[in-house]
Amino acid sequence: MTACRALVPDKIFLWNPDGKYLRHHYANPQAKHYAGPEKILGHYIQEVLPADAADRVLSVMRVAWLGHQMQCCTIQLPLEGVTHKVYIRFFPNQHSIIGLVNDFNVATTLAQVS
């Protein structure tokens, strides 16, 4: 069941190649999120995420965009005093990049999910 849960994203983002949030979908909008929809639309990744996480996301996003192929990365974000691992799959298309995002608290590792 855990492996199946990892296939369904907690969030879906659509970014332009510069990292601007164009659209979003939260599987559970009532759940706690690092940044909710009202804080991201029209903003850039660098404005939303901590600097180290934003740098990592943008770096991998650029590789996906320039290579025209799917890429993945993991970042860590704090949420209510707990560190969450965030696994992002980037899918470039003609004009934008789709990001499928899964959140895991520290007690859940990616190894347990796969």
Query: DSSP letters of 37-60?
Result: HHHHTT-BHHHHS-HHHHHHHHHH
Which residue has better confidence, 83 or 72?
72
Where residue 114 falls among pLDDT bands split at 50, 70, 90?
Answer: very low
- 75: containing domain: 2-113
CATH of the domain at 25: 3.30.450.20
Instruction: List Cβ<8 Å contacts ≥24 apart for 76-80.
Output: 77/34, 77/49, 77/50, 77/53, 78/34, 79/32, 79/33, 79/34, 79/103, 80/32
Where residue 106 falls among pLDDT bands split at 50, 70, 90?
Answer: low
Q: Is the pTM of this model over 0.85?
A: no
Query: Can you tell me the distance from the alpha carbon of 101 to that of 95, in angstroms, rounded to the nearest whole number?
Result: 20
- Which pLDDT score, from 0 to 100, does residue 66 have? 97
Mean pLDDT of 37-58: 94
- Which pLDDT score, from 0 to 100, does residue 1 have? 44
- Which pLDDT score, from 0 to 100, does residue 110 have? 42
Mean pLDDT of the chain: 86
**Count of domains observed in the chain:** 1
Query: Can you tell me the distance from the alpha carbon of 110 to that of 49, in angstroms, rounded to the nearest whole number?
Result: 21
